[in-house]
Amino acid sequence: MNKKIAVVGMGQGGMVAAIKLAQAGAQVTVYERDLEGKVGYPWRDDITASVFKDCNLPFPDKDVYVQKATWVFVSPDEKGTLRVPQLLPFVEISPNRQKLSQYFANLATEAGAVIKYGENIQKLVIENDRVVGIETKDGIEKYDLVIDATGMYSKLREQLPEKYCVQKTPSNQDTMYAYRAFYEKNEGTETFLPDVSNTMILRHMDNDGIGWCNLNEEGKVDVLLCNISRPFTDEEIEERLADLRAMNPILSEKLIYSRKVPLSVRASIATPVADGYVALGDSAFMTIPIMGSGIEAGMHGAATFADYVIAKDIQDFTAENMWPFYVEYFEKFGKGFALLDIVRRHALRFKAKYINWALSGKFVTDDTLKFIMLTKEDPRKPKYKPFMFSAILWKLIFYPSFMCTILRMAGEGIHAMSVASHIPSKYSEKKITKWAKKYDNLIAKCEAKAEKRKK
Ligand SMILES: Cc1cc2nc3c(=O)[nH]c(=O)nc-3n(C[C@H](O)[C@H](O)[C@H](O)COP(=O)(O)OP(=O)(O)OC[C@H]3O[C@@H](n4cnc5c(N)ncnc54)[C@H](O)[C@@H]3O)c2cc1C
């Protein structure tokens, strides 16, 4: 493939595409706003290790990742807990985000791509409704394809001609506003549950989000506070930190560093392509919408794109020629994410009393979760007990309002998945516009109904 391709943004979405396309012979240039050695968040996040194999990439060196920690969910009243069983060793890992960026950069450079750091690309060059390049520090650079991997609030996506029907900005309800900070540990204290390092409080302080306070492998306390739909004020952060401190004595007042950052928690964009342009990763909202996990989802999306254009030997990057990759992506991932998007919108609004009850041991237990999550090969998987799951249904009967909430969530989620799976198989502006409206309306309607119920 002897084509000139610009990848804007050096996150994992952009880099998986950059590596694969450069390996296939394309002249790839990556433009990254941050400086060399500073790309990626200064912390660890969790992924499934198999994603590297899925994307046909070598496994990173041991210094990039550690085993994923043990987790426990805590109810809003902080009385109930549910332990998340740890899968077999290194099935789930926590890569260091900056080292992961370096891993991708090394592979891309080895494949022949050029990386330009300190380049904040703000403008697409568009001629006759086709993206033909970008404006760089050195002036206009022409490209056969521009891959937008700049994130959910992409400034490039906003500039596309209306006819492609590419959503310009996400809504507030599609964003999880996070405050992540690292504190020193109070000497001589132990975590909330001594055998579990990571604690996630659901609906923390009755907000539509979570809070965590974890002891990391370096002995620092990792704090995350999340809210849907509105950024944090400083007062709110202090209030929620005080609550975490009261529960978890490890959290001191000595701040090491902190950052406020938005996460995309919505189903994948309806259409990510225009002539000469494709959005990948968070730019196309390719995250698992429950928690905003986009490392793995963005890597899968980018690999699906690159593998498709290489296999079909695409020479002319029109929206029409690239579209089938997105149909494949929707079949493999997008339709499932549509379901999870609706589940998330309901679940984060569950009344605290339901979650308190569900985690009080009267509904699901640590053993139920172990039975669901552990594989047959794992000796820790409990034996099936008769009525294990019918007992759950039976308990729901005694909580009819919770049962209704769950049934409504399941019904709307399955409907969303069905609409998503009817993505037009061939590119037609008319058909895609019609389908995109229906798909986006599902989310808008779910939000509107949920807000109405809250009042
Ligand atoms: C607190 C927190 C916890 C998270 N936890 C997890 C987790 O456990 N698991 C998981 O899978 N995901 C997690 N995520 C989400 C994950 O970080 C993102 O979904 C993922 O990084 C998106 O990848 P990306 O390649 O699309 O973009 P990004 O990783 O956001 O990369 C975009 C890149 O583009 C660059 N850029 C932006 N604008 C420009 C521009 N104009 N010009 C040039 N360069 C530009 C940026 O500097 C950046 O390097 C978490 C996110 C946060 C904030």
Residue type, 400: P
Q: Which of 336, 348, 359 is nearest to 454 (CA)?
A: 348
296 pLDDT above the threshold of 90: yes
- CA–centroid distance, 335 to ligand 1, in Å, is 22
Measure the CA angle with vertex 321, ends 319 and 326; round to 5°: 70
CA 43 / ligand 1 centre spacing (Å) = 12
**167 within ligand 1 shell (Cβ under 6 A):** no
CA angle 53, 59, 64 (to 5 degrees): 135
- Residues 361 and 346: their CA atoms lie apart, in Å, by 22
Q: Using 50, 70 and 90 to split pLDDT, how confident is the model at 452?
A: confident
CA of 7 relative to ligand 1 center, distance in Å = 14
**Residue 245 pLDDT exceeds 90:** yes
Percent of the chain scored above 70 by pLDDT?
100
**164-198 per-residue burial string, b: 16 or more CB within 10 A, e: under 16:** bbbbeebeebbbbbbbbbbbebbeeeebbeeebbb
Q: How far is the CA of 447 from the centre of ligand 1 (A)?
A: 25
Q: Are 55 and 332 in contact (CB under 8 A)?
A: no
Q: How confident is the model at residue 138 (pLDDT cuts 50, 70, 90)?
A: very high
pLDDT (tens digit, 9 = 90+) per residue, 315-356? 999 999 999 999 999 999 999 999 999 999 998 888 899 899
Ligand 1 pocket residue status of 178, Cβ below 6 Å: yes
- Domains of the chain, earliest start first: 4-43+96-170+266-338 (3.50.50.60), 173-263 (3.30.70)
With 0.85 as the threshold, say if the pTM is over it: yes
Mutate to test the pocket of ligand 1, among 38, 41, 45, 287 (most ligand atoms within 8 A of CB): 45
Residue 301 CB less than 6 A away from ligand 1: no
Residues with Cβ < 8 Å from 158, sequence gap 6 or more?
A: 168, 169
C-alpha 367: how far from its chain's center?
Answer: 28
Q: For the segment 385-427, what is each residue's pLDDT rounded down to a tens digit?
A: 877 788 788 888 888 888 998 999 999 999 999 999 999 999 9
The tokens of 400 are what? Answer: 């009819």
Please report, in angstroms and rounded to a whole number, the separation of the first and last CA atoms in the chain. 56
Which residue's alpha carbon is at the smallest distance from atom 37 of ligand 1?
Answer: 150
Res. 35: pLDDT tops 80: yes
Amino acid at 330: F
Q: Is the pLDDT of residue 291 over 90?
A: no
> Which token pair is 132?
């033909």
Q: How far is the CA of 11 from the centre of ligand 1 (A)?
A: 6
Q: How confident is the model at residue 364 (pLDDT cuts 50, 70, 90)?
A: confident
Question: Ligand 1 in contact with 296 (CB < 6 A)?
Answer: yes
AA identity, residue 416? A
Mean pLDDT of 283-311: 96
Work out the pLDDT band at 455, boundaries 50, 70, 90.
low
How far is it, in rounded angstroms, from Cα 278 to Cα 297? 16
Query: Alpha carbon of 235 to those of 212, 231, 241, 242: distances in Å?
Result: 18, 12, 10, 11
User: Alpha carbon of 232 to those of 177, 226, 413: distances in Å?
Assistant: 7, 8, 29
31 lines ligand 1 (CB under 6 A): yes
Tokens 């790839």 label which residue?
A: 28
Name which of 34-38, 256-260, 305-309, 378-382 the model is least confident about: 378-382
Nearest-CA residue for ligand 1 atom 38 is: 150
Which residue, 148, 117, 140, is CA-closest to 38?
A: 117
pLDDT tier, 171 (very low <50, low <70, confident <90, very high otherwise): confident
Q: Does residue 300 contact residue 55 with C-beta atoms inside 8 Å?
A: yes
* pLDDT above 90 coverage of the chain, percent: 80
The span from the CA of 269 to the CA of 420, in Å, is 11
How many whole angstroms separate alpha carbon 210 and alpha carbon 179?
A: 11
Give yes or no for residue 305 having a pLDDT over 70. yes
Per the prediction, the chain carries an average pLDDT of 94
* Closest Cα to atom 12 of ligand 1: 293
147-169 confidence digits (pLDDT tens): 999 999 999 999 999 999 999 99
